[in-house]
Amino acid sequence: MKYVELNTFLKIVGLATSGGEAKQLIQSGEILVNGVSETRNRKKLVVGDRVTFKGQEFDVVSDVTKMGEE
């Protein structure tokens, strides 16, 4: 199954400009995945998942692959 890690997704959608910033956001407990607080940086997101931060919602809408995977 194809996926994208949560920390990478936050950078893709512009909520974080670096991996360190993404990690801080995730560890703050303010990132929700499908309505549940998520604190794992490498949580695997798949098509249909919804990420929420301070009222902003982002859906995983197309097949994605792990970054760096050849």
Q: What is the pLDDT of residues 9-61, one digit of tens each?
A: 999 999 999 999 999 999 999 999 999 999 999 999 999 999 999 999 999 98
**pLDDT for residue 67:** 44
Alpha carbon 23 to its chain's center: 10
Residue 2: per-residue pLDDT: 87
* 62 vs 5, residue with greater confidence: 5
Closest CA to 6 of 31, 41, 30: 41
> Which residue ranges form the domains of the chain, and what is each CATH number?
4-59 (3.10.290.10)
- Asked if 1 contacts 46 with a C-beta cutoff of 8 angstroms, the reply is yes
Alpha-helical (H) ranges within the chain are 6-12, 19-27
